[in-house]
Amino acid sequence: MPRKIIIDTDPGQDDAVAILLALASPEEIDLLGITAVAGNVPLALTQENARKTCEVAGRPEVRVFAGCDRPLAHSLVTAEHVHGKTGLDGPDLPAPTMPLQQAHGVDFLIRTLRDNPAGTVTLCPLGPLTNIATALQQAPDIAPRIKEIVLMGGAYFEVGNITPAAEFNIYVDPEAAEIVFKSGVPLTVMPLDVTHKVLVTPARSAAFRALGTEPGRIVADWTDFFERFDKEKYGSDGAPLHDPTVIAYLIRPELFTGRHINVEIETRSDLTRGMTVADWWRVTDRAPNAMFMGDVDADGFFSLLTERIGRL
C-alpha cells in the first residue's frame, strides 16, 4: 500500500527534486497534495515553483495549495542568494499552466487529516514549519491523526547554515518549529548532519544528465546551479541535496541511521535563535520527541534518486 503524504514546501531546487522523487515513486508514495509556504523565496514564487515542478514530472493533476506567506511572529527571511531570484534558477522553465487550488494550504491540511482515517497521512515539510504549526494551532484535533511528520530541518554537529547556530528552515520560523516539536506527533528529522553527506558531485550530476530525459537534464541544471554557491561556502566537492532525503527515507528507511532523542527549539536568544538543541548524548532527562538522523548511505541515496528520476 503506498503511503499517503502531503508535501509542504518552499521550492527551492532541492525541494523540487524531492517532489520529483515522490511523483516518480507511486508504488511507495501516494501524494495527496502539495502545500506551499514562504521560505527560500516568497509565497508567490514557491507556489508557482511547486506547479512548475509537477509539470516537469508530467503531473499537472497534482493539487497545489498556497499556504502562509509569512512566519508566525517575525518578518520573512529568504534565500535568493542560494536559489536565485526565482528560487528555481538554472533551467529556463515556462510559467505553469496547471491551476493553483482555491483553498488555503492550511485548510487543505486540516481537511485532509480529518477526512482520512487516523494514522494514515504523513506530513513531509521541506521548508519553514509555518503551515504545519498554523494547522496544529487552528485544529488541535488533527495532531493525534497524523501518522508521522518527516521533515528536513535543523542541525546538531553541523550547527548552522544561515547563522552560526541555526539551520535555515528552522531559523525562518522558530516559533512554528517549537509548536511542531512539542506537538506529540511522531517526528523524524533530516538535519544538516545527514544532508551534508549527500553531496551532488560532478559525477552524480552527470548521472542525471546521462539519463537522456528532460527531467534528468532539468535536475542536472538545478544541481549545477546551487552547487556553485555551496562548493564555495563549504569547500566540499559538491552541494548538499537536502530535501530529497525526506522522500528517500519514506522509500528506503534503511539508508538512514539516527537516534530517538529530545530536540528543543531555541526561540529567545539573539545569538542562537532557531537552533535545534538536540540531546544527542542523552545528557538531560527530557523525554525523546524526535528520531534525529545522523548518517546516510550516500551512494544508495543517489542510486535510488537517479533510478527514480529516470522513470519520469
Active site residues: 242
* 254 membership: H or E segment, kind and range: none
Is 48 exposed, middle or buried, given 0-12, 13-18 or 19+ CB atoms closer than 10 A? buried
Q: Are 277 and 267 in contact (CB under 8 A)?
A: no
Q: Are 28 and 251 in contact (CB under 8 A)?
A: yes
The rounded distance, in Å, linking the Cα atoms of 75 and 115 is 33
Closest residue by Cα to residue 151 from 33, 276, 279, 48: 276
Tell how far CA 199 is from the center of its chain. Answer: 16
Q: Is 108 helix (H, G, I), strand (E, B) or coil?
A: helix
Closest residue by Cα to residue 25 from 199, 179, 252: 252
The rounded distance, in Å, linking the Cα atoms of 77 and 209 is 33
